[in-house]
Amino acid sequence: TTKIKNLDANIDSFKVKLTDDDLKEISSEIREEDVAGARQNTSFGPTNWNYAPRK
């Protein structure tokens, strides 16, 4: 997160409380295969901070 408004939204997400029924309903509508997987596009790998020159 690079913007304060996004950080605020991320922090606010902790306020959401889901019941067991909520989780069951969500799980019944969305397949795990549709949301699981890599978080980052692999084509951006070489631009990752891990590849930055070290001093």
% of the chain surpassing 70 pLDDT? 69
Average pLDDT over residues 11-32: 92
Confidence of residue 28 (pLDDT cuts 50, 70, 90): very high
49: closest CA among 11, 6, 9, 2? 2
Task: Report residue 47 as tokens.
Answer: 């631009």
Residue ranges per structural domain of the chain? 1-28
pLDDT value at residue 41? 62
Higher-pLDDT residue of 32 and 11 is 11
